[in-house]
Amino acid sequence: MREAATHDEVYILGADVSIGSKGSVISQDTNAHWLKSFVSINLNITQAFYSHPKILVTALNGPVIGLSASPISFSDFIYCVPSTFLLTPFSSLGLVAEGGASRAFVTRMGISKANEALIMSKRITAQELLGIGFVNKIFELVLAEVKDRLGNHLIGDSLTKIKALIRKPERDVLDAQGVAEVFGGLERFAAGIPQEQFRKIASGEKRQKL
């Protein structure tokens, strides 16, 4: 995302359930390991999204699950196809909210739906996402719509300056919330709780409810 501030790059985020496998051994100090592999990366990804200076448009062509679902909440516009659904199974995996979701979901979804998504790990359908204003529109041809709505008839630097004004009041809150989230997650990883849940999923002992 930081590259995307100056270049047209695309990043795909996802979870690796192999971290809980038997072959995954952490030889160094547990806290130091998770500070490096979880806290710093998570903070960087989250901050890169909510501080992104350009107009950020997300086009979902299918389900968005886990950490990937959190930072897209900071997009200026979100479009999706009918088959899209959002799922953040943090509580099912023994984790806490990540990627700024504890703030962004409440802001974009409202407290009731955010509680369902985060506390209950409930799948939120495309129609529900549209109804609560999380996505701007559901359609089959996403890119054509984006190009039409954000075309040359708009002045580029006006868009970014308006965005900066809209986002400014939230920056301090998001900085603080991001830190609170990652250190909450650090405690869970240091205790080995999500690793055990990932191990169960990888081995087939546990199936993630979709």
Record the tokens describing residue 197, joined without a space: 């849940």
Is residue 98 flagged as an active site residue? Answer: yes
The SS3 call for residue 111 is helix
Q: What is the DSSP string of 78-98?
A: EEE-TT-EEE--TTTTT----
In eight-state DSSP terms, residue 169 is G
Active-site residue, selected from the candidate residues 3, 9, 98, 170: 98
- CA angle (170, 167, 75) in 5-degree steps: 110
Tell me how far CA of residue 15 lies from CA of 20, 65, 86, 176, in angstroms.
12, 9, 15, 24
Q: What sign has the CA pseudo-torsion 20, 26, 31, 34?
A: negative
Distant-in-sequence, close-in-space partners of 153: CB < 8 Å, separation ≥ 6: none
Q: Which H/E stretch holds residue 115?
A: helix 111-118
95 HSE (CA, 13 A, CB side): 22
- Residue 115 has phi, psi (to 5 degrees) of -65, -40
Catalytic amino acids?
98
